[in-house]
Amino acid sequence: SNLHKKCLQLYKLRMHPEKTEEMCRNMTLLFNTAYHLALEGRPYLDFRPLAELLRKCELKVVDQYMNEGDCQILIHHIARALREDLVERIRQSPCLSIILDGQSDDLLADT
């Protein structure tokens, strides 16, 4: 089953901590690439060429995560983590201020 395969993969990674560190570095590169695309407002289609560029720079990039769908998933996880961090900061803050910037045309007509 798939669960059994994942358990075996996890066991193998625990037996070789250096591979785990390498995988984390590789995934960090892919997360940074996906974050860059989101920050710049670039399409998901730009992900594969950037990942190929990383590979040409002799960085090990996992083939499994080099398509547009996976880029979208990575960006979703990044957004969720940033949102959770922001919510936690707001919860811990002793003060909360809200800035509203709205104006109605009716107010201008009365003056």
**Into how many domains does the chain fold?**
1
pTM: 0.64
Nearest to 65 by CA among 107, 90, 32, 102: 32
Q: Which domain holds residue 40?
A: 17-95
The answer to whether the CB of 21 falls within 8 A of the CB of 60 is no
In a domain? residue 103: no
Residue 107 has pLDDT above 60, yes or no: no
pLDDT digits (tens, 9 = 90+) for 7-23: 777 766 677 666 677 77
pLDDT digits (tens, 9 = 90+) for 58-105: 777 777 777 888 889 989 999 999 999 999 998 898 887 777 776 665
- Give residue 1's pLDDT band: very low, low, confident or very high (50, 70, 90): low
In a domain? residue 7: no
In a domain? residue 88: yes
In this structure, what are the phi and psi dihedrals at residue 17, rounded to the nearest 5 degrees? -60, -30
